[in-house]
Chains A and B, each alone.
Chain A
Amino acid sequence: MYKHRKFLLILFVIAFMLFLAACSSGGNDSESAGNDESAGGAAEQVLKIANDQEPAGLDPHITPAMSSVRVYSKIYSTLVEFDENMELTPDLAEEWDWSDDTTLVFQLREGVIFHNGDEVTADDVVYSFERILDENTGSHIASYFSSIDSIEATDTFEVTFHLTGPDATILTNFTNASAAIVNESVVEENGDLQQVAVGTGPFKLEEWVPDNRVTLSKNEDYYMEGQPVLDAVEYYTMVDEAARLSAIRTGEVDMTTLTGQSAQLVDGSEGINVMEYQSLEYSYAGFDMNHEILSDEKVRQALSLATNRESIATIVWDGQATVTGPIAPSMGDWSIDVTEHELYSNDLDKARELLDDAGYPDGFAIEITTASTYDDMIDTAQLLQQQWAEIGVDVTIKQVEWGEYLDIWTNTSADILIGRNGSGSDPDRAMNYFFNSNGSANVWGFADEEYDEIVQNGKTTIDEAERHDIYTEAQNYLLDKSPNLFLVSPMNYVVARDTVENYEPYPHNSEDIMETTIN
């Protein structure tokens, strides 16, 4: 017996070490669950949303990930925002006025308080934009506000932005959820805002349990009368598509995004609404402009002619996509009707002719790189491989993991790269940022003085009609030069239970839940 006891004692000690961790954290869980219950009363309106990725942090100024944006956009406010028709409407700013071409004055709403009780004043706005523009912050939206020369609190509730030159895009950029107004004392206290969130938005951060859920509760002091209606929003991280599909079918969650294919599976199911909207994104094939063969404009044009974009929409996206140019169709009348463009005619004879002119009568061999993370990108690459084979171009496809893909994107170390771009909310984003010779995201080495001039003109022209003409010219010019082949802009899908009412997704705000109710 002695022997046994000793043995068991030792085994017990080791097992105990293993259990120690289990028990200690079990305690934490019980606490958090207790909070949940106390927050959840009888007829609470709680919207459960399945988020397809874990938020990558909650600091609006440095976190571009969509999984984060959808959460922090509920917590923070911006100066101005878009309504459903993409018209500017007041948010934290009640009024705004250009006192001259380079001076923009905002009158702030009075009596707005942060979730911690501080009142919002002009100083907070000044601090927020100085933080965005500070190099040490490393903000991904600093480039949106590069025309800002200085910011000044001209009164308790009045902020004046002085610009280095006329900038027609800046008002639209203020609507970006990342241009959020934050509280200086909270940043000072925590270093950054990745883990904490104190804003002025309709919802407050209640709890974030990593890889599990984010709980937001209603901001009772929100300045918009009667909004939001919901008492709480819960985001559950569910990376697996089948799991999200199953959860929305059985009503475990109220709302989720799904791919077109999965959305079709539940379309028509009882108790489920499938909603679609045109995304702001488009897919492209980007060329290394310094590549020996691809640097020839005729080659790129030939490839554009050899590309059947309709069939990409049909095969890759099940028909749920629209052929597009550099500005996606969801941007309304900013985007041109590309189907009229000569290079979109899929004229193979013309393509062969151009290749012949360029000195490649028998075609050539080339490599397309694509991210293995996204099926649509792989499918697109495979279709292009088939389509271009018709004119003698021999394509090999290289699939890389997402981190490596981003590396390749940055260094343009691929001949041709398949990708997706977001059009943004102002045409300047699509045209200037990606293709100006010193645009931050122009990784292709496309440098064309004439083009630079056109888009610079577009940025500084305030008159709207004139701007339209400029961007029409810019789009046609860019299509002729084809530094990228612009392919299709897919539909996005939101699937919700029919108990969710007063909700409709828009391209620039797919999660407007201000008036949403649950029945």
Chain B
Amino acid sequence: MPGNPIGVTQRGRAFLILDIKKSLDLHRIFLKGENMYAYIIRRLLMVIPVLLGVSIVIFFTLRVIPGDVAQTILGTSATEESLAALRGRFGLDLPVYEQYFMWISGIVIGDFGVSMRTGAEILPEIISRFAITFELTMLAAIISWIVAIPLGIIAGIRRNTKTDFSVRIISLFGVSIPNFALATILILILSLAFNYSPPVGYVGFFADPVTNLKILFLPAFVLGTAMAGAVMRMTRSSILEILRQDFIRTVRAKGVKERIVIFNHAFKNALIPILTIIGMQVGVLLGGTVIIEQIFSLPGLGQMVLTGINQRDFTVVQGAILFIAFVFMLINLLVDLLYSYLDPRIKYK
């Protein structure tokens, strides 16, 4: 039984040396609680050097991209004087390292600066746009879980049946079809065949939940399909793997109903790899909604980054990417902590 010693699985549910296990558990829980806080604090502290690294990479990459900021903003009718004036206003005429220190020292005190293009404050903008991207990501994730996890389980249980093959084909489709293609196809089909298009102009969830969900459903569905494909495949293979293990045979031998075997024993243990892929997908989605937000005209964080890059609005791109990196790390931390909740054998030191 590699990696699965008796007595430490699933809250001491099934097994032999119950008494010993209980006492061990109590001891461990105590220690673990202490360790976990230290762990979380350490992880949060680690965010700082990583963000510093991200800030350096993004700042200098943007400076290397060809295309002069002032020229891009003012267009072809700009004069030398107007270009110089704009560069002066944003310190673009200073040495690059000086520009970096000016920017990063602002970030440290929470000042993300203003957009070079519109003059608007960046941080409030990032936060309000993050809300949209976050809602979109969560909806996409929920849609994908609702579809993918049950189908994945069914496929795993009924391996090599017609059901299994259909699920595998569906998931392959989900993984393979590019988001933007599916999005455009859906928009055109709905418009041409059903004379339907989502309402224009984004409205927040708390302002008008129905319109909000109408607007977000299509993009969430498109994003959800790709994620569903990956989650479906992972659920299937993970269930297959667990079902082969000895403790499942033991549980079955005890005469436990198959439904309970699957949901209480197999599925819970299969969740770890599924969670890993979900965590990664949610992170990727957060940064990867760019094209979908553009196609569906959603004013999210991705749209902000894309517009910023096209317009060489450095301050906006830097701020937004730094923020995305921060959220990405928080999600990773959340997933790591969820591991130990799902599988108490996983300890953090």
Contact = CB atoms under 8 A, between A and B. Distances in A.
Interface string A1-35: 01110110011001101100111111111111110
B38 interface: no
Given A139-B82, A140-B78, A406-B72, A253 B120 contact: no
B75 A65 contact: yes
B19 interface: no
A138 interface: yes
Nearest to A143: B79
Contacts of A195: 118-120
Most buried by A among B76, B198, B341: B76
Contacts of B202: 209, 212
B127 A25 contact: yes
Most buried by B among A22, A32, A143: A22
A179 B290 CA distance: 36
Contacts of B119: 57, 191-192, 194-195
B66 interface: yes
A114 interface: no
Interface string B107-136: 000000000011110000101111100110
A33 B203 contact: yes
A30 B206 contact: yes
Interface stretch (B96-104, B146-154, B302-310): B302-310
Contacts of A30: 204, 206-207
B204 A28 contact: yes
Contacts of B76: 406, 409, 441
Contacts of A209: 202, 299
A335 to B, nearest CB: 21
B83 interface: yes
Contacts of B188: 242, 245-246
B333 to A, nearest CB: 7
A137 B187 CA distance: 43
B190 A246 contact: yes
Interface stretch (A231-239, A296-304, A377-385, A508-516): A231-239
Interface stretch (A316-324, A337-345, A396-404, A490-498): A396-404
Say whether chain A's binding surface is mostly helix, strand, loop, or mixed. helix
A70 to B, nearest CB: 15
A137 B71 CA distance: 15
B131 A236 contact: no
A24 B187 contact: no
Contacts of B200: 48, 50, 236, 238, 247, 252-253
Contact of B67 (A65, A136, A403): A403
Interface residues of A, number: 78
Most buried by A among B188, B201, B298, B334: B201
B201 A32 contact: no
A463 interface: no
B77 A64 contact: yes
B197 A57 contact: no
A143 B73 CA distance: 17
Interface string A211-229: 1110000000000000000
B39 to A, nearest CB: 10
B330 A137 contact: no
Nearest to A64: B75
A195 B117 CA distance: 10
Contacts of B15: none
Given A65-B75, A195-B119, A238-B297, A211 B307 contact: yes
Given A57-B117, A242-B188, A410-B68, A142 B81 contact: yes
Say whether chain B's binding surface is mostly helix, strand, loop, or mixed. helix
B173 interface: no
B82 A62 contact: yes
A164 interface: no
A406 B81 contact: no
Nearest to A252: B200
Nearest to B205: A26
Contacts of A24: 127, 131
B81 A138 contact: yes
B294 interface: yes
Most buried by A among B197, B198, B331: B197
A476 B164 CA distance: 74
A428 interface: no
Interface residues of B, number: 80
B36 interface: yes
Interface string A404-416: 1111011000000
Contact of B71 (A14, A136, A410): A410
B67 A401 contact: yes
Nearest to A142: B79
Interface string A52-73: 0010110000101100000000
Contact of A211 (B78, B85, B130, B304): B304
A242 B183 CA distance: 10
B306 to A, nearest CB: 9
A128 to B, nearest CB: 16
B330 A242 contact: no
A240 B195 contact: no
A250 interface: yes
A441 B77 contact: yes
Contacts of B81: 135, 138, 142
Contacts of A141: 77
Interface string B49-88: 0000000000000000111100111111111011111100
B134 to A, nearest CB: 5
A236 B203 contact: no
A33 B204 contact: yes
Contacts of B213: none
A243 interface: yes
B225 interface: no
A136 B191 CA distance: 49
Given A54-B307, A142-B82, A209-B299, A29 B206 contact: yes
B82 A138 contact: yes
A195 B115 CA distance: 11
A410 B310 CA distance: 17
B296 interface: yes
Interface string A29-52: 111111000000000000010100
A242 B201 contact: no
Contacts of A250: 191, 195-197
Given A57-B118, A137-B82, A10 B337 contact: yes
Contacts of B85: 135-138
A249 interface: yes
Given A10-B40, A14-B330, A243-B296, A56 B82 contact: no
Interface in A90-130: none
B71 A212 contact: no
Nearest to B86: A138
A140 B75 contact: yes
Counting from the closest, the 8 A-B pairs by CB-CB distance are A29-B204, A403-B67, A138-B82, A33-B207, A211-B299, A246-B191, A138-B85, A25-B128
16 contacts: A3-B32, A11-B338, A30-B204, A31-B207, A65-B75, A138-B81, A141-B77, A209-B202, A210-B118, A210-B129, A211-B307, A212-B299, A246-B190, A402-B310, A405-B67, A406-B71
Given A17-B330, A33-B203, A249-B191, 13 more contacts: A7-B337, A18-B134, A26-B205, A48-B200, A135-B81, A138-B82, A210-B299, A212-B297, A238-B297, A239-B297, A240-B295, A242-B184, A247-B200
Interface of A: 2-4, 6-7, 10-11, 14-15, 17-18, 21-34, 48, 50, 54, 56-57, 62, 64-65, 135-143, 191-192, 194-195, 209-213, 234, 236-240, 242-243, 245-247, 249-250, 252-253, 400-407, 409-410, 440-441
